Chains A and B, each alone.
Chain A
Amino acid sequence: MKKLVSLALATAMTMSLLAACGGDSGSKATPDPSVPNQQGGSNAITVVLQTVGNNMDPCFANAITTTTITDHIYDCLVNCGLDFSLQPGVITSWEQPDELTYKLTVGDGFVFQNGDPLDAGDVVFSLERLEDIPQAADLYARLASVSAEGSVVTVVLKEADNGFLRELAEIPAMSKDYCEEVGDAYANAPMGTGPYQMSEYIPGEKAVLTAWADYPGGKASIDTITFKAIEEASAAYIALESGDADFSDVDAPDYSRAQSNDKLTFTQVDSAYTAFVSMNTQAAPFDNANVRKAMAYAFNTEGYLSVKGDNYIAIDSMFPMVSEYHYTPDNAITYDLDMAKELLAVEGYNENNPLTFTISGYSSNDVVMQAYQADLKSIGVQVDLVTQEFGVFLDNMASMNFQMLTGGWGDTTGNPLTAAECYWSGSFGAQNISFYENAMCDELYNTAKASNDPAKVMDACHQIQEIAWEDVPMFPTFGRSDGYAYNKDLTGVVIYPSGIVSFREAKLG
């Protein structure tokens, strides 16, 4: 008996020790004494994200989940509306004296969370720091000079680029003094001019934001927002149902459950996500336009929707379906296996000489590609499906070491040039992942880039999409309508097509 009691006590002590190890293990951002209710309270919400990034510098992180967090801490130089319309941010107005020069006026009343006022020098710094950030250096490379005079920042571009202003929607206004003071530690202790301050941050696990009491626009209604990482979609939804969370995105299998839960508000938002199939146009067999066309004819976009899920939508443009530039040309290819077989026969592929190739992807168990493989098999095409780690996939893609690949990407700025770059030879390995070369497309891209006439830009984008369906270096497959569910008492949540969610104006009750 004595031994049993000793064993029980030893177990209890061990558990207590383990408990002591577990407490307070996070790296806390420096708390500001002026911030009330840093531990959260009744007016607090918990938001589930698939990941909480390991770096809170939004330019470095380059992920929608991180931007959802940091958008509450920073104000961006300009903003994008729900319809991708350009709206003022820290830069409240702009003018373009000539095709290369932009005069950006920095608004009054923006104050950093350490009390320093934001000035034009901070905006210049926010642009100049991009040079050292690979994920954003592309934007910096377009600038010939950046200078400030009074409250006006003058940007001179190297060449005319009508997408420049839109790209500023991804650039947060940062404090030059603070960044220089904290150095590399900035990634864990962000500070901006937004309504929320970071009060606790455990990389990979959670980020706790507290409403900044002195925010010039008035303190936000929600006192504390805890962003928490749950990678598994069903577990994230269960957290919502159990009341452990107030907001989460929802996977298609849980839609009906979320819709029928009277404690939750369920909504679906058309997203700027575009899935595609891309072919390496620089090597056989896809250096042949007829073979590429045959592949597009064999892809049963509408039919595959039944296996893809309720939240996917068939699309026929690489321009996001929520963008005004999204356009279905008359020559858009629709599913026709006979036509595919016919085109392959013209190019000499038949039962005796079957077309054989590999499709690379990074998503395991891709049911759509399995269905596509079966369709291709029915016309005598032999396909191997290869799932690669994302890093390997990127490597192979950049080095043209693939035949056909499948993937998808999102859009945060609505810049039509981003989608047009899929067919522009200046973007090999970046947007143009089929390494497609077409002089006409290049010319149209340059026209769209240089022109300030919206009709001209629209026309150029339409023509590019027509050529894209003629030559088919890559073809769009699915768009997405994302599902979100949240606590019925929560109002004022804004969900952008990019997937960024804002709780700046949210209220409880």
Chain B
Amino acid sequence: MIKYILKRILQIIPVLIGVSAIVFLMLSFSPGEPARLALGMNAKPEQIEAFNRENGLDQPVAIQYVNYMKGLVTGDLGTSYTTKQRVSSMIAIRLPATCILAFGSLILTYLVAIPLGILLAVKQNTWFDDLYRVAALIASSIPAFWLGLLLMLLFSVKLGLLPSNGFDTPMHWILPLLCSCFGTWAGSSRYIRAMVLDTIRQDYVRTARAKGTPERQVLFRHAFKNALLPLITSIGFSIGNFFGGSIVIEQVFGINGMGRMMLNALREKDIPTVMAGVIITAIMIALGNLIADLLYGVVDPRIRAVYSSGGPKKVKKKEAAAA
């Protein structure tokens, strides 16, 4: 198992190199001069030249990339062109808020969506199911940006229950998390409903019922457990979505997170900051997928057995033919 995990972690490295190379090239060849943005429109050519020299921007792009990667390997994410601060310290300030927002949204989404999805499957084709279908359509159509403002008006201005902005205390987290989860609740619960309905029609479920197994056990032990595999895949991808998709929530609620940092860095063509943000997001997505893969093993003993033997192996052509 450990061998498999290590193997998967090592596989993340070429992914990161690929992602970083593509993003670095895109940033380097996109129009706009970092020096002009950092120094302002009154900057003299010699000042721009000095800025480029100081930040290694006078080197060919390939050398710039190699230098950046050399720094990255030693844990140096570089210095921001605009803020003159270490990128690592900028991220240290912002990463906690984004992690709370991303993982909090993930937990809250599935904490609500799973029981709701099962309930919808049980109540299939009832008025509750129909009503929820309409509600889900409306909920997933509301832009997070607008919903955020509505939530603020209701909970902060009208009811005076919750702070309207910031992310200092758990009370501050409630509205951004609600806003972040609202649309995904609708989609995820419908997805879980469909998966449970799919398994509920399987022979083994019919057999369990025929044997007189109580309905709750049929639902949770037989139907839901078998519906978990595609759900885990969906959760794995959601980690990346929540992590990368926090920009709007951060903008509306004035949260100083990674999304806002990345957006500002992109506007200012601050390459070290953008690169660090992209690499961290890529790591999160890769880890999310790794966790999902490992959870397959927890849920399905057949997959666990494959992991225990060091992970899935390629079947040789000869062996396959013999089989």
A residues near B (Cβ < 8 Å) are 11, 14-15, 18-19, 21-22, 25-27, 54-55, 60, 62, 134-135, 137-138, 184, 187-188, 202-206, 228-232, 234-236, 238-239, 241-244, 388-392, 394-398, 429-430
A391 and B99 within 8 A (CB): no
| Min CB gap B272→A, angstroms | 13
By a CB distance below 8 angstroms, the chain B residues around A184 are: 84
By a CB distance below 8 angstroms, the chain A residues around B111 are: 11
Whether B100 sits at the interface, judged by CB under 8 Å, is yes
Taking A18-B104, A54-B83, A202-B256 as contacts, is the C-beta distance between A391 and B37 under 8 angstroms? yes
Whether B228 sits at the interface, judged by CB under 8 Å, is no
A203 and B42 within 8 A (CB): no
Residue interface bits B38-77, CB-to-A below 8 A is 1, else 0: 0111111001000100000000000000000000000000
| Min CB gap A122→B, angstroms | 23
Taking A21-B100, A230-B254 as contacts, is the C-beta distance between A54 and B157 under 8 angstroms? no
- In the complex, residue of chain A having the shortest beta-carbon distance to the beta carbon of B38: A134
A-B contact pairs, 7 of them (CB 8 A): A14-B103, A134-B51, A137-B44, A231-B254, A235-B165, A244-B164, A391-B34
B93 and A27 within 8 A (CB): yes
By a CB distance below 8 angstroms, the chain B residues around A27 are: 89, 93
B165 and A187 within 8 A (CB): no
Which 5 A-B pairs have CB atoms at the shortest separation, nearest pair first? A391-B32, A205-B256, A54-B83, A242-B156, A230-B254
- In the complex, residue of chain A having the shortest beta-carbon distance to the beta carbon of B250: A231
By a CB distance below 8 angstroms, the chain B residues around A21 are: 96, 99-100
Interface residue count on the B side (C-beta < 8 Å): 60
| Min CB gap B127→A, angstroms | 28
A458 to B267, CA, bound (A): 40
Question: 11 new A-B pairs (CB below 8 Å) besides A238-B164, A394-B37?
Answer: A22-B97, A62-B40, A135-B43, A187-B83, A228-B166, A234-B149, A238-B149, A238-B152, A239-B164, A389-B267, A392-B32
Q: Secondary structure at chain B's binding surface: helix, strand, loop or mixed?
A: helix
A395 to B43, CA, bound (A): 11
A395 and B44 within 8 A (CB): no
A388 to B268, CA, bound (A): 12
By a CB distance below 8 angstroms, the chain A residues around B80 are: 54
By a CB distance below 8 angstroms, the chain A residues around B160 are: 242-243
- In the complex, residue of chain B having the shortest beta-carbon distance to the beta carbon of A27: B93
Q: Which of B40, B104, B252, B254 contacts A135 (CB 8 A)?
A: B40
| Min CB gap B132→A, angstroms | 23
Whether B85 sits at the interface, judged by CB under 8 Å, is yes
Q: Which of A22, A54, A394 contacts B82 (CB 8 A)?
A: A54
Whether B170 sits at the interface, judged by CB under 8 Å, is yes
By a CB distance below 8 angstroms, the chain A residues around B266 are: 389
| Min CB gap A391→B, angstroms | 3
Q: Which of A25, A137, A234, A430 contacts B97 (CB 8 A)?
A: A25
B267 and A242 within 8 A (CB): no
Residue interface bits B14-35, CB-to-A below 8 A is 1, else 0: 0000000000000000011110
Taking A238-B164, A394-B37, A398-B36 as contacts, is the C-beta distance between A25 and B254 under 8 angstroms? no
Whether B299 sits at the interface, judged by CB under 8 Å, is no
- In the complex, residue of chain B having the shortest beta-carbon distance to the beta carbon of A234: B149
A396 to B84, CA, bound (A): 25
A338 to B14, CA, bound (A): 64
By a CB distance below 8 angstroms, the chain B residues around A235 are: 148-149, 152, 164-165, 252-254
A38 to B165, CA, bound (A): 22
By a CB distance below 8 angstroms, the chain A residues around B135 are: none
Whether B269 sits at the interface, judged by CB under 8 Å, is yes
By a CB distance below 8 angstroms, the chain A residues around B164 are: 235, 238-239, 242, 244
Taking A235-B165, A391-B269 as contacts, is the C-beta distance between A134 and B44 under 8 angstroms? yes
B157 and A18 within 8 A (CB): no
A18 and B42 within 8 A (CB): no
A22 and B83 within 8 A (CB): no
B252 and A232 within 8 A (CB): yes
| Min CB gap A487→B, angstroms | 15
A395 and B84 within 8 A (CB): no
| Min CB gap B59→A, angstroms | 20
Whether B5 sits at the interface, judged by CB under 8 Å, is no
A19 to B97, CA, bound (A): 9
By a CB distance below 8 angstroms, the chain A residues around B96 are: 21-22, 25
A203 and B93 within 8 A (CB): yes
A94 to B257, CA, bound (A): 47
Which residues of B from 146 to 190 have beta carbons under 8 Å from A?
Answer: 148-149, 152-153, 156-157, 160, 163-168, 170, 173
A14 and B33 within 8 A (CB): no
Whether B11 sits at the interface, judged by CB under 8 Å, is no
By a CB distance below 8 angstroms, the chain A residues around B167 are: 22
A18 and B99 within 8 A (CB): yes
| Min CB gap A393→B, angstroms | 8
Whether B88 sits at the interface, judged by CB under 8 Å, is no
| Min CB gap A11→B, angstroms | 6
A238 and B156 within 8 A (CB): yes
